[in-house]
Amino acid sequence: MRSLAARFVLLILALVVTSCSKQQQPATPTPVAPTELSTPIPATPIPSATPEARPTTITLTLWLPEELDPYNREATKGYILRQLAEFSNTYPDLSVEIVVKKVHGRGGMLDFLRTAPDVAPSLMPDLMVINADDLEETAAVGLILPLDDLLSPSVANDRFPFATSMGRVGDQTMGFVLGVKADHQAYRLSQFSAPPLTWREVISAPAQFLFPAGGQNGEINDATLVQYMAAGGTVTDPDGNPWLERESIVQVFTFYSHCIGTGVISPTAVLGIAEASQSWGQFRSGDASLTLVDAGQYRRETDETMGAAPPPTRDGDPFAVTRGWVMTMVPEDPSRQALAMLLFDWLISPDQNSAWTRAEGYLPGTRSAVMFLDAPEGERVMLSSLLEASDPAPPPEVMALVGPSLQKALEALLEGRATPWQAASIAIESLRE
């Protein structure tokens, strides 16, 4: 047995030696079962058909109304497209898709918000810009988010009071003002040593005062609405019902009557003007020394012969009514919301917002953005004081009742068919009908 065992050991050793000898010869290698190693040997890199993993680009969707379509705005040359390109350069993993939609009607923003979450949730926007007049209706759909916890205190406190109010629905901030329209005064520097800021100064002005008094869609123009509200008039009672105050109407119409008496206002001329752009055009042609003009249009077309000031009011206090656009937030998912806030903060930053409003012909809703405006310092200060004291325009549903009543009364006054007191009675009785 011991001899047999010894022979077996010798046979094993022979096989090992033979194997080692063969490995040293340039013969065709014999397949060997893989041996498990405790430490893997790095493989030599070889070309592979599998592409390297690339960072995923996330696309944010911004809905814009047709009025702000950047692809069909030759005057502004799609300024927001350049802003979004800069955003994508700053955040390479993010891109922005603009979807232009009408607000109302089938397939519009509000209609889509009501139907898309159930049938096409992937098509929902991240941010949406809408008319401030539509904010309450949009919030009622229940798909835009309150912004109070998303805005930093510094940004929230930077808003003008009108912008804070314009963005609220109930006790929540549902929209952030991107830009607004507001009218101010333009006057001839050669004919005024200082801008006429009070009614008394206008009554004794050296030349004609032009403003729109022809009405728009049968409603009173902002030129007279501003005078009425600046004199303390309201368009709703404490319960929110349409309302007109006799005393404020009488004061405004008495001011107009005095201007007619001194030749500063030509009833025929102002009744023939339906919007501020018309009176501005006549002013530029030299037909008047004083007018009201949209602030954005003034900034584009003013020259060295003109000055800007708040609209003249009873007491000389600045006041305007504002109409404009607000931006809203849609996604509820926290991670998506955080990405959308990067774009949100980019668009509302003072430098970006100031540049966009100038290009589009609007005014900003924040104090910091006004200071970034490309305008003389005196004009920026004037606009800041005007916006500080402005109010959002009354809701369209209220003006649809109050506006025609005031317009009917104004026409009776300017056509010489009624005294200021009688014209005020016409307005109030018309509203009650």
Please count the helices (runs of H) and the strands (runs of E) in the chain: 18, 12
φ, ψ dihedrals at 362, nearest 5°: -120, 175
Dihedral-angle region of residue 90 (phi above 0 means left; psi in -120 to 50 means alpha; beta otherwise): alpha
What is the mean pLDDT of the segment spanning 155-164? 98
CA distance 256 to 203: 9
At residue 71, does pLDDT exceed 60? yes
Q: Rounded to whole angstroms, how far apart are CA atoms 368 and 158?
A: 7
**Phi/psi at 324 (nearest 5 deg)?**
-175, -155
95 vs 53, which has greater pLDDT?
A: 95
The C-alpha atoms of residue 267 and residue 207 are separated, in whole angstroms, by 14
pLDDT band at 79 (very low <50, low <70, confident <90, very high): confident
Summarize pLDDT for 274-329 with one digit per residue, the tens: 999 999 999 999 999 999 999 999 999 999 999 999 999 999 999 999 999 999 99
Is 314 exposed, middle or buried, given 0-12, 13-18 or 19+ CB atoms closer than 10 A? middle
The string of DSSP letters for 220-249 reads --HHHHHHHHHTT--SB-TTS-B---HHHH
According to CATH, the topology of domain 183-319+395-432 is D-Maltodextrin-Binding Protein; domain 2 (3.40.190)
Residue 44 has pLDDT above 60, yes or no: no
- List, for residues 186-237, the tens digit of each pLDDT value: 999 999 999 999 999 999 998 899 999 999 999 999 999 999 999 999 999 9
Are both 58-180+324-387 and 183-319+395-432 of the same fold?
yes
396-407: average pLDDT: 97
CB-CB neighbours of 428 under 10 Å: 17
Res 249 pLDDT > 80: yes
Residue type, 283: F
Name the average pLDDT for the chain.
88
* CATH code for the part of the protein at 58-180+324-387: 3.40.190.10
Can you tell me the distance from the alpha carbon of 46 to that of 414, in angstroms, rounded to the nearest whole number? 90
Reported pTM: 0.85
Nearest to 329 by CA among 62, 51, 134: 62
Backbone angles phi, psi at 360, to 5 degrees: -90, -10
Beta strand pairing call for 321-329 and 127-131: antiparallel
Whole-Å CA distances, 45 to 37, 38, 163, 360: 20, 21, 61, 56
What pLDDT, on a 0 to 100 scale, did the predictor assign at position 4? 35
| Domain assignments of the chain as residue spans, ordered by start | 58-180+324-387, 183-319+395-432
